[in-house]
Structure 1
Amino acid sequence: MWTTGAEQVEQAVAECVALLGTVTGRDWEGVRAGRLEWSCRRTAVHIAEDLIAYAGQLAGREQESYTPFDLVLEEGAGNADALRVIGTTGALLAAAIRTAPREVRAFHPYPFRSANREGFAAMGVAEVLLHTHDIAEGLELAYEPAPELCAFVLTRIFPHVGPGETPWRTLLWATGRGELPGRAPVTGWRWSNNAVIGTERLTLEGVTPAAAADLAAVGDGGFPWIEGGPMDGTRVGAGLVHKQYEEGLHLPEWGMYVLVRRADGRALGAMGFHGVPDGSGRVEVGYDLAGAARGHGYATEALRALSRWALGRPEVQTVVANVERGNTPSQNVLARAGFAQVAEDPEHLAYELREPGDG
């Protein structure tokens, strides 16, 4: 069953509080938290700061920056009190996730300046897992979170990181806290929320590895679809995205996007790239639209926007598409989006779109 992440936030916080609750009588202020410069006490407060900050962003629908507030524990608050605050702020984030509509996005800087409710859930879980690890390392406690929590984080905000031996070791490696055989140490990192591209009537929402796996397995990927969707082509495309992720070859912005109609929040189809741009700056695009959404110009509108986005990237010179010779509607979409036919074979027609004036 698809999850928005509220339960994962609650589980991560519960595991954190249960572990650290066994050592509240120890000195947290005088002990460094793992590899961090902070003390264990400062790191615990930071967990709560992040949880309430994410709750505020999502609940307040902040669009331009972080909400200008801070969290300060009362003078004299002990370690057990800090854990109480972590529990409370975790509950607030879970509530914000549960009550936020699916289409809501709020400001977060990495990397596309916004995140949806699943993104904030994954970021919250990541902060809890990683900083509980840091504190546990400083206090010499054994800690290994539930594997499904680590996988939840990896498949939503680390789409560029291929799976490793286990989700926990992979997450530690991806954040500079551990090693993985065959992979160079990580010295700088950022997570990656999914990209969105807006048009007049649509939002093209980047598909995470988690959503791709669900779509490929005949789920809905967390999207409310119109009748007839998702189409077989969408499921095949999602399977390719998930395969690229499993092989460590997935770059999220060059993956698949679900076309969501703004008027009612319904998913109409999918559009995306077959892979990253090649050495000559060519990238191939494909698309699939549910039958009930055809004939309204949605595919043309989305293709124009996605092609414009791609051609705005320095590594792209040409967007290409191949369509079956008998698929006249798809050929018309390409023509309306400005593509020109450049080649053909007995089964397919090849189209290209370049920047105006680009020979």
Structure 2
Amino acid sequence: MTDMGGDRVEEAVASCATLLRAAAGRDWEGTRAGRLEWSCRRTAEHVASDLIAYAGQLAGRAETAYVPFEITLDEGTGPAGVVQVIETTGALLAAAVRTTPREVRAFHPYPFRSANREGFAAMGVAEVLLHTHDIAEGFGLPYEPPTGLCTWVLARIFPHVRPEPDAPWRTLLWATGRGDLPGREAVTGWRWNNNLVIGTERLTLQGVTPAAAADLRAGGTGGFEWIEGGPFHGTRDAAGSVVNAYAKGVHRPEWGMFVLVRREDGLAVGAIGFHGVPDDEGRAEVGYDLAENARGRGYATEALRALAEAALARDDVKLLFAAIEQENAPSQRVIARAGFTRAGEEVERVAHELHGLEPSLRLYSREA
């Protein structure tokens, strides 16, 4: 995962510019952009505004709100000038993405109040592709962006959407209320979904997108810089579960996987997360592991406490539990220090007999 999005922004802008130049002789002011209330010109201006706004968020390291500025085109700017502005603002976003450090996050409201450089790149690409579609629809022109761009966007900011493997563009249009997919209800309201980050004193727990999970499963880094010896094999196994859940359309980011990143040096030391969404009784299973070189320093305990407190503060969670090997004394110490207690023998017996829990595993739980 060497490209965090700069190349993708440039590719999306190039596809947009090609379409807009083909419509240079049309009535941009008097033509409505597809299903939007805006004219085609207003929509094109909006694209440029979003691109420069995202670049500004990253460059200005905005933490609590949007940087208070906006872009205004000179009076009388024609279609050619509008395209030039989109290309320019796209270049600025690509540059900001490429030069922003990996650990920087800036304000964006949806849904967890921040995004990293890859998230801003994906949002910028989505704005370009979707609004180019709107303009093309208004002018009655065909438009279909590169397939790889659509797949890239979906796997980064639409983790809750089941992708159609052979139709990523149609999936993206459906997910944003612009088209239909067989067997799926029409979308009337939507938001994209940047990854969740939970902070602790020494760590940040960074939500893993389906794209990062796929890279981890395949033997890559997932876009993180790892401590020597990482990631541990349990992290790669958990990443595979994220990929499978995404393919089935049941992945929910806040109930997925998080990579543990040290604040002091930005190195990833392990992973933690859930085995799925809470059941009907509000129970969810947690799991964690660390790279061998990061063990014995309290990272797992610190991360588990933070994750448990965040989950148990929700109304839909009543109990968290973990299944730990009977012989794994270090993990048992971690779970105990994080406020979990050993389940009773009867509970374990039921889990073994009725739910297929392996006989070597012991249950620990923490209630709200």
TM, length-normalised to structure 1: 0.98
- What does residue 347 of structure 1 align with? 360
Letter in 2 for 1:338: G
Q: Which residue of 1 aligns with 2:30?
A: 30
Give the distance between the partners of 1:89 and 1:151, measured in 2 at CA: 23
Pairwise CA RMSD of aligned residues? Answer: 0.8
The aligned counterpart of 1:45 is: 45
The whole-number CA distance in structure 2 between the counterparts of 1:209 and 1:115 is: 15
Matches within 5 A, 1:243-282: 243-282=244-283
Partner residue in 1 for 2:303: 302
The aligned residue for residue 232 of structure 2 is 231
User: Residue type of the partner of 2:3?
Assistant: T
- SS of the aligned residue for 2:225 comes to coil
Q: Secondary structure at the match of 1:75?
A: coil
CA distance in 2, matches of 1:338, 1:69: 47
1:314-329 to 2 correspondence within 5 Å? 314-329=315-330
| Cα distance per residue 1:220-276 (max 9 Å; x no partner) | 100000011111100000000000000011011100000000000000000000000
Q: Write the letter of the residue equivalent to 1:135.
A: I
Task: Determine if contact 1:2/1:221 at 8 Å carries over to the other structure.
Answer: no
Within 5 Å, give how 1:140-179 maps onto structure 2: 140-164=140-164, 165-179=166-180
The CA distance in 2 between the partners of 1:183 and 1:9, in whole Å, is 29
CA distance in 2, matches of 1:231, 1:181: 40
TM-score (structure 2 length as normaliser): 0.95
Q: Partner amino acid for 2:329?
A: T
| C-alpha distance in structure 1 between counterparts of 2:103 and 2:272, whole Å | 18
Helix, strand or coil: the match of 2:226?
Answer: coil
Q: Offset at 1:2?
A: 3.5
Q: CA deviation at 1:209?
A: 0.3
Between the aligned partners of 2:79 and 2:219, the Cα distance in structure 1 is 46
Over residues 310-353 of structure 1, what are the superposed CA-to-partner deviations in whole Å (9 max), with x where a residue is unaligned? 10111100010000001000000001111100144640110000
| Paired residue total | 355
After superposing the two structures, state which structure 1 stretch, 79-88 or 1-10, moved more.
Answer: 1-10
Per the TM alignment, residue 25 of structure 1 is displaced from its structure 2 partner at its CA by 2.0
Once the two structures are TM-superposed, the CA of residue 285 in structure 1 deviates from its matched residue by: 0.1
Runs of 4 or more, structure 1, over 3 Å off, are: 343-346
1:300, 1:334 within 8 Å by CA — same for their partners in 2?
yes
1:287 aligned counterpart, secondary structure: strand
Sequence identity (%): 68
Equivalent residue number for residue 89 of structure 1: 89
Instruction: State the match for 2:20 in structure 1.
Output: 20
Q: 1:135 maps to what in 2?
A: 135
Q: What residue in structure 1 maps to residue 184 of structure 2?
A: 183
For the pair 1:108 / 2:121, whether they are aligned, the reply is no
Q: Tell me how far 1:67 sits from its aligned partner.
A: 0.8
Question: Which residue type is aligned with residue 151 of structure 1?
Answer: T
Contiguous gaps of at least 5 residues in structure 2: 353-358
1:216 Cα shift?
0.5
Report the counterpart of residue 73 of structure 1 in structure 2: 73
Deviation at 1:26, TM superposition (A): 1.6
- The superposition leaves residues 15-68 of structure 1 with CA deviations (integer Å, 9 ceiling, x where unpaired) of 110121122122110000000000000000000000000000011000111111
Query: 1:211 maps to what in 2?
Result: 212
